[in-house]
């Protein structure tokens, strides 16, 4: 069953422009790996709050995509840099999945 996933986090003040460049590269990697309808939105009400959304064919396939991405050195470098842009790091990233 297809799932809709999301990641939500807050970007550090002063990192927005760097983040925009980085997330474009990460979006390309994730869509090439198999995530569909991938989008990144920024809150109007809450400064620097970002939500990434995407579709995956199933939770198992999402996990396979993530495992594949973590074997790619360029993606790992992008994620390590993203960690420095998020308030509290990637550990503070909220995620969720719903049936689509």
What pLDDT, on the 0 to 100 scale, is given for residue 46? 97
Instruction: Say how far apart CA 28 and CA 89 lie, in whole Å.
Output: 21
Mean pLDDT value across the chain: 97
Q: What is the pLDDT of residues 16-66, one digit of tens each?
A: 999 999 999 999 999 999 999 999 999 999 999 999 999 999 999 999 999
What pLDDT, on the 0 to 100 scale, is given for residue 1? 93
Q: What is the pLDDT of residues 57-97, one digit of tens each?
A: 999 999 999 999 999 999 999 999 999 999 999 999 999 99
Exposed / middle / buried, residue 64 (Cβ in 10 Å: 0-12, 13-18, 19+): middle
Instruction: Say how far apart CA 2 and CA 88 lie, in whole Å.
Output: 30
What pLDDT, on the 0 to 100 scale, is given for residue 37? 97
* Domains in the chain with CATH codes: 3-99 (3.30.70.100)
């Amino acid at each position: 069953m297809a799932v809709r996933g999301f990641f939500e986090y807050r970007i550090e003040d002063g990192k927005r422009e760097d983040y925009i460049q980085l997330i474009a590269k990460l979006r390309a990697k994730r869509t090439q790996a198999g995530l569909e309808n991938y989008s990144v939105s920024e809150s109007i009400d809450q400064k620097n709050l970002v939500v990434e959304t995407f579709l995956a064919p199933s939770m198992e396939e999402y996990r396979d995509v993530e495992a594949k991405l973590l074997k790619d050195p360029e993606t790992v470098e992008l994620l390590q840099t993203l960690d420095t842009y998020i308030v509290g790091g990637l550990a503070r990233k909220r995620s969720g999945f719903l049936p689509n």
